[in-house]
Structure 1
Amino acid sequence: MATAPEPVVGASFLRDIYHRVNPDYSGRYTVPVLWDTKNNAIVSNESSEIIRMFYEEFDEFVSEDKKGGWLLPEAKRAEIDAMNEWVYDTVNNGVYKAGFATSQGAYESAVGALFESLGRLEGILAGSGGRYLLGSEMTEVDVRLFTTVVRFDPVYVQHFKCNVGMIRHDYPAIHKWLRHLYWDIPAFKDTTNFEHIKKHYTKSHTQINPHSITPVGPLPDIVPKDKE
């Protein structure tokens, strides 16, 4: 059930959105969902498509300095696409491969690839010469990686058994990058709710956590910039 009121169509459950479009729908109910309020239709439920749609279709709603796909500069597009590919496979989706693995071999393979990529990202950030993955300007790769890294210590370390290391203790460059995005750029903090995040995972996946117990730690959910 929704943890906050759904303001567009008044749905109590995600499945209500899907059945509003097709009452006979029998597939998976997944987020995110980009909803067309005029046509009462789901435009897309694929995050990589939706983020690009925001660049290409919504310029009339943003300030001049944010028009034209500013997170996807043409000069860096090939580099962004290449990084997105391996980061998605081994990090964004890698935590799920580990968490939902049904064999020791599959789990260890996913965890190995995940932490190899975290090490690679640590090196990239340490040597980027700027605050972001591709230098001094934020791009799409920062946005896409943030959503996984901000959940890593509070959820994935314990819930998905991704416990070879923690961002706050073992990856100083990633940790610095994460805290900069969260504490210095309001859009990241304003759209992160740790209570929702932790309860979603721990109370949704009963095959992983059959008693739906939500761990208290680690505390704090994210370390303030003035503390280590």
Structure 2
Amino acid sequence: MAQGTYVEKTYERDTTYIEDRITVDGADGWPVEAGRYRLVVARACPWANRAIIVRRLLGLEQALSMGVCGPTHDADSWTFDLDPGGVDPVLRIPRIKDAYLKRFPDYPRGITVPAIVDVPSGEVVTNDFAQITLDLSTQWTAHHREGAPDLYPEALRDEMDEVMHRVYTEVNNGVYRCGFAGEQEAYDAAYDRLFVALDWLSERLESRRYLMGESITEADVRLFTTLARFDPVYHGHFKCNRSKLSEMPVLWAYARDLFQTPGFGDTIDFVHIKSHYYEVHRDVNPTGVVPKGPDLSGWLTSHGREALGGKPFGDGTPPGPVASGEEIPAAHGVNP
């Protein structure tokens, strides 16, 4: 299959998304309605992984179905190659691009996940990944499970928005700025920015269990999906190699704490993650060879973060078991 190109002199992410929102009042023409929409994700993608985690933490599995694309894609689109016949069983399409073109026949931008599709019409509603998860927290409350955590507390939103903005620009997107830099100067600057931010996060988390204090919020979800991919792909493939996550004591303990919390580690498919980055980014890794390492067993070791106190889910409770059919294969996760 023909692969896309990713390396640029100085990498700049296209941040123009379909900004329609699914809301209680349906102001954009898309009212919240259980069973009407399908969340399309790829477990390899950190942006989609956010939506998978938030959907699970809030208990929205019955209200919002989920379609899962395979870890690799061509220059054209993510595909449903994990499903029988290579077709999503609900949307009845082989690639998510079909839902984009159903609504926008001349859609000019990248075909991205996560995306939410209106099942009756087969049309994409939104791919605005940052807003999707916030709306799952604030607009879908009628369908939250009993004991669902408040991932976007009103009292913390101003500070949270600032923290999440820095996490996004310097870390979530910072690793890509390193990995796709086509010139030394651009790479050097990106590398320095990334590790300045990781040092800031280490300092912030040294005395507090989670980014916003005593309980998990959306900010932790957003940082976690990058940290989970750091040693398997970003350290080597994206040249973010000052130190591995496992060599940054505070962040490594924090990441293990989250990984061992229901709703986080049980969404991580390391086989999909490595397959996607090493096989798809052929202008970064021309051979497409996927490394066997690193050793992932450390994710299950004791982290000691309980000593900082706090309650992971605030006044809520952990989510139950992973929904049937959505489990990560044992060989794709971390084996004790």
Tell me if TM exceeds 0.5. yes
Cα 1:147–1:227 change in 2 (3 A) is closer
Which stretches of structure 1, 4 residues or more, deviate above 3 A after TM superposition? Answer: none
Residue of structure 2 equivalent to 1:71? 151
Over residues 112-171 of structure 1, what are the superposed CA-to-partner deviations in whole Å (9 max), with x where a residue is unaligned? 00011001101111122xx211211111110000111100110101111111111111x1
Aligned partner of 2:258 among 167, 181, 184: 181
Residue of structure 1 equivalent to 2:104? 22
Cα 1:63–1:151 change in 2 (3 A) is same
**Are 2:186 and 1:106 aligned?**
yes
How do residues 1-228 of structure 1 correspond to structure 2 at under 5 angstroms?
A: 1-2=79-80, 4-5=82-83, 6-66=88-148, 70-128=150-208, 131-169=209-247, 171-183=248-260, 185-220=261-296, 223-226=299-302
**Alpha-carbon distance, 1:35 to partner:** 1.7
Partner SS, residue 20 of structure 1: helix
Please say if residues 153 and 166 of structure 1, whose CA atoms lie closer than 8 Å, have aligned partners that are also in contact.
Answer: yes
Task: State how far apart, in whole Å, the 2-side matches of 1:221 and 1:16 are.
Answer: 39
Task: State how far apart, in whole Å, the 1-side matches of 2:155 and 2:122 are.
Answer: 37
Partner SS, residue 223 of structure 1: helix
Partner SS, residue 142 of structure 1: helix
Task: State how far apart, in whole Å, the 1-side matches of 2:81 and 2:277 are.
Answer: 13
TM-score (norm 2): 0.62
Residue of structure 1 equivalent to 2:13? none
Task: State how far apart, in whole Å, the 2-side matches of 1:55 and 1:38 are.
Answer: 24
Structure with higher helix content? 1
Structure 2: give runs of 5+ residues left out of the alignment.
1-78, 305-336
RMSD: 1.9
Partner SS, residue 25 of structure 1: coil
**Alpha-carbon distance, 1:4 to partner:** 2.5
Cα 1:221–1:36 change in 2 (3 A) is farther
Task: State how far apart, in whole Å, the 1-side matches of 2:254 and 2:144 are.
Answer: 25
TM-score (norm 1): 0.90
Structure 1: give runs of 5+ residues left out of the alignment.
none
Task: State how far apart, in whole Å, the 1-side matches of 2:175 and 2:89 are.
Answer: 31
Letter in 2 for 1:134: M
* Larger RCO: 1 or 2 (CA < 8 Å, sep 6+): 2
Letter in 1 for 2:173: N
**Alpha-carbon distance, 1:222 to partner:** 5.2
Please say if residues 3 and 196 of structure 1, whose CA atoms lie closer than 8 Å, have aligned partners that are also in contact.
Answer: no
Cα 1:41–1:113 change in 2 (3 A) is same
How many positions carry a matched residue from both structures?
222
